[in-house]
Amino acid sequence: MDTFKMTHKNKLYKIAFGLAVFTIVYNIAEGLISTYLGFEDESLALFGFGSDSFIEVISGLGIAHMILRIQNNPNSKRDDFERTALRITGIAFYILVFGLVITSFYNIWQAHQPQTTFWGVIISIISILVMWFLVLWKRKVGNQLNSAPILADANCTMVCVYMSIILLISSGIYELFGIPYMDSIGTLGLSYFAFKEGRECFEKAKSDKNCCCD
């Protein structure tokens, strides 16, 4: 019975690790496509969304490492690799927020509008579906393992869902009604969540708390 439980537990950890790897690969693809289309269409919100995806890759590497660590030693504490990844991620988020906020206000001042936000609508819908699927699966695995770190990662993945919804709303409203500054307003909304993520990264790097994304 103990052997069966151990085998099942190891299988769940492999699934959790696979989800972490998938999240990394997806964010790389999403980042490349979103930044390219955001630049081509002059959509700051889509470009910022893609930039955030690249930062999530760094965070994802830390998550994948964390899963391997707790698989080998469930009671172990956050190690130097994870703390370094968190600090780098936090710095990257703050830099992104600074750039997006400054550019948003500049675009508002210059009355700049994107050529189209069509791809922002498409990418955000895809992202909502994929990230919600990841949230549900991570929560399922986390509950079966009774693992607070994996459940915390699922909660943090929900932030990606919220950011996708902001992109969808701002891109959709602009595409349908052509309301000025919606792209910039959406960018400021993304900046708010990016700032919160950056702050959380530094909080986690200083402690052994799993996540503040409750």
Q: Which CATH number fits domain 2-206: 2.40.128, 1.20.1510, 3.40.50, 1.10.238?
A: 1.20.1510
Q: What is the pLDDT along the chain (214 residues), one digit of tens a residue?
A: 477 777 889 999 999 999 999 999 999 999 999 999 999 999 999 999 999 999 999 999 999 999 999 999 888 889 999 999 999 999 999 999 999 999 999 999 999 999 999 999 999 999 999 999 999 999 999 999 999 999 999 999 999 999 999 999 999 999 999 998 999 999 999 999 999 999 999 999 998 766 544 4
CA angle in degrees (0–180, nearest 5) for 9-11-16: 95
Q: Domain ranges for the chain, please list them.
A: 2-206
State residue 37 phi and psi, 5-degree precision: -70, -35
- Whole-number Å distance between alpha carbons of 130 and 19: 11
Residues with Cβ within 8 Å of 212's Cβ and at least 6 positions away in sequence, in order, are 200, 203, 204
One-letter amino acid for residue 111 of the chain: A
